[in-house]
Each structure stands twice: as structure tokens, then as C-alpha cells.
Amino acid sequence: MRIKSHIPNMFTLFNLSLGVLSIINILAENYFLAALLILLAALMDRFDGKLARKFDAESDLGKELDSLCDLISFGVAPAILIWASHLIDYGVIGMAIIILFPIAGAYRLARYNVTEFEGVYMGIPITVSGGIVALVNLYSMNYNTSTYFLIFMMMFLSYSMVSQKIKLKKR
């Protein structure tokens, strides 16, 4: 019974491991694998919460650990991916846009952790935003994607994570 309580956190830490591996692949300029690792991390993130509820292993520690891991896998890794693959030549403007993304994600996660959850997300979850960035990056590898679109997307997703006007019902 005791082992069951650790299984959700193991999935959470696997999510973090995939996020770090994504960053390593970005540094090696393997953007395709980096994007796939972000998407795989999202799958692990989906399972950790389900397993925590199934095994009645939800805890404050697990919630905080999940947020810290999500910030790396779905905030930092996607931002670095889009910067390295598309915005590296945009100097300070590109860096500012990319820094905004994990800042918005961190704020969203912190707000989520201190707010009583009533089945409705305020703002787009960081997992969704990071997954969108990974998917768009995969798409842009095969099709010409406007850099202006990517800049707009990053700014829109950053705003969407912190917006209190955007509400999504949990499924």
C-alpha cells in the first residue's frame, strides 16, 4: 500500500526528466525529438494526477512537485525550443518574448496552487500551452511558418495562461 502512494510522484519526476531531456536535445539542435519529449511529458503529467486520485495519494507535496516539474517541462523547455529553432536571431525582442512565457506559466501555477479548485481552470493550463508550442514547432519543421505568427502565438499563450477571463472546465 505504501508503494502506491509514491507512484504518482514517480510519474511527475518522469515528466521532469523528459523536460530536461528536451532541453538537452534543444542544445544538440535536435528540435524534433525535443518537441516529442515535451509531448511525452504531457502524457506523464496526465497520468500523475489520475494515479494520485486512483490511489488516494493526493498531497500538498505532490501538488507542489507537479507544479515545479510542469514549469520546466511546459514553461522553460517549450520557450527554449521556440527560441532556438525560430527566434534566436531576434535579439532582445526574441528573448523578452521567450522569457515572458515561463514567467506567465509560473504565475499561473502559483495562482492555481493557492486557489481552491472548483472544476474550472482560470486561464489555459501550462501543460496545454507547452504542448501547443511543441506541436506548432513540429508543424513548422515541415511547413513554412511565419515568425510573426510564432511571436504572436507565444504572446497570446502567455496572456492566456494568466487571464482570469478565459475559463476551461476540467475534463
Residue 68 has pLDDT above 60, yes or no: yes
CATH number at residue 154: 1.20.120.1760
CA atoms of 98 and 111, how far apart (whole Å): 21
DSSP output for 4-36: GGGHHHHHHHHHHHHHHHHHHHHHTT-HHHHHH
Residue 102 has pLDDT above 90, yes or no: yes
- Arithmetic mean of pLDDT, 2-6: 79
Residue 103 has pLDDT above 90, yes or no: yes
Task: State the pLDDT confidence band at 153, using cuts at 50, 70 and 90.
Answer: very high
Domain of 101, in residue numbers: 3-169
Q: Give the global pTM.
A: 0.93
Report the number of distinct structural domains present in the chain. Answer: 1
52 or 89, which is more confident: 89
Residue 1 has pLDDT above 60, yes or no: no
